[in-house]
């Protein structure tokens, strides 16, 4: 595994390489952010962004969302993977948001993960993007890169998240999250990483690569 000094060099290099790294989801409110992140599970941000303008025009908040039937919601998000299960979760989450939080998205991790369909990754993204908290949301890119680069050496998502917490200064958690995602999308691909043009080539341990 990389030393903390080398981890700092990795984050510095990725920040320099991807100065515009940020959340790629389009949303207008905290509620829309929460719904968008829920819909993005095992789907691309681009596919979510194509579906949500019409959905949010019809149902911009929890009050209007719960008025949709499950079938109506499915019609809006049919182009997104796992749309049937996601429609159930979004409606159930919206009902509980109204019943327990007056329709307002809570700014507490424990409150967020208590909502249907909201896991650690979703909660961390909402807290980072919507509330300005320093969080690391471990999606497929972050999990793969953290363990490939050598920032962590773990076999599951939770241990990887906790390992990143230890390795990266807290004031850089959100930045590191975005930088790792951008690097995974643009250079360090799962099957064919472009090591020849990688900004951290020479620091990265290339774990798992032959």
Task: Kindly state whether residues 34 and 125 are assigned to the same domain.
Answer: yes
Residue 132, token pair as written in the block: 């300005």
Q: Which of 88, 111, 139, 155 is catalytic?
A: 139
Is 170 among the catalytic positions? no
Is 6 among the catalytic positions? no
Q: Is residue 114 part of a domain?
A: yes
Q: Which of 121, 153, 156, 170 is catalytic?
A: 121
- Helix/strand/coil (H, E, C) string of the chain? CCCHHHHHHHHHHHHHHCCCCCCCCCCCCHHHHHHHHHHCCCCCHHHHHHHHHHHHHHCCCHHHHCCCCHHHHHHHHCCCCCHHHHHHHHHHHHHHHHHHHCCCCCCCHHHHHCCCCCCHHHHHHHHHHHHCCCCCCCCHHHHHHHHHHCCCCCCCHHHHHHHHHHHCCHHHHHHHHHHHHHHHHHCCCCCCCCHHHCCCCCCCCCCCCC
Task: Kindly state whether residues 119 and 154 are assigned to the same domain.
Answer: no
pLDDT at 206: 83
- Predicted confidence (pLDDT) at residue 84 exceeds the cutoff of 60: yes
What number is the average pLDDT over the span 30-41? 97
Give the range of the structural domain holding residue 159, as residue numbers without chain letter: 4-21+136-197
pLDDT at 207: 54
Task: Kindly state whether residues 171 and 90 are assigned to the same domain.
Answer: no
Q: What is the dihedral of CA 60, 104, 86, 160, to 10 degrees?
A: 130
Q: Which of 131, 147, 171 is the last residue of a domain?
A: 131
185: domain CATH number? 1.10.1670.10
**Exposure of 52 by Cβ count < 10 A (0-12 exposed, 13-18 middle, 19+ buried)?**
buried
Task: Kindly state whether residues 41 and 118 are assigned to the same domain.
Answer: yes
pLDDT at 210: 36
Query: Confidence band (pLDDT; 50, 70, 90) for 28?
Result: very high
Q: What confidence tens digit (pLDDT) does each residue in 101-153 have?
A: 999 999 999 999 999 999 999 999 999 999 999 999 999 999 999 999 999 99
What number is the average pLDDT over the span 72-87? 96
Q: pLDDT averaged over the chain?
A: 95
Task: Kindly state whether residues 34 and 110 are assigned to the same domain.
Answer: yes
Q: What confidence tens digit (pLDDT) does each residue in 144-157 have?
A: 999 999 999 999 99
pLDDT at 48: 97
């Amino acid at each position: 595994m990389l030393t903390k000094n080398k981890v700092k060099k990795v984050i510095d290099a990725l920040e320099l390489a991807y100065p515009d790294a940020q959340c790629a989801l389009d949303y207008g409110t905290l509620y829309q952010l929460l719904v968008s992140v829920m819909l993005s599970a095992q789907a691309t941000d681009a596919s979510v962004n194509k579906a949500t303008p019409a959905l949010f025009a019809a149902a911009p908040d929890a009050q209007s969302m719960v008025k949709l039937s499950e079938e109506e919601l499915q019609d809006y998000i049919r182009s997104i993977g796992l749309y049937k299960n996601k429609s159930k979760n979004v409606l159930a989450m919206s009902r509980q948001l109204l019943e327990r939080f007056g329709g307002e998205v809570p700014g507490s991790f424990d409150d967020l993960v208590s909502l249907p369909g909201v896991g650690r990754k979703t909660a961390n993204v909402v807290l980072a993007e919507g509330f300005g908290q320093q969080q690391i949301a471990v999606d497929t890119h972050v999990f793969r890169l953290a363990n490939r680069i050598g920032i962590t050496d773990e076999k599951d998502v939770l241990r990887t998240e906790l390992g990143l917490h230890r390795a990266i200064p807290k004031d850089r958690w959100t930045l590191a999250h975005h930088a790792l995602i951008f690097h995974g999308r643009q250079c360090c691909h799962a099957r064919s990483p472009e090591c020849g043009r990688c900004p951290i080539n020479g620091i990265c341990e290339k774990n798992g690569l032959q």
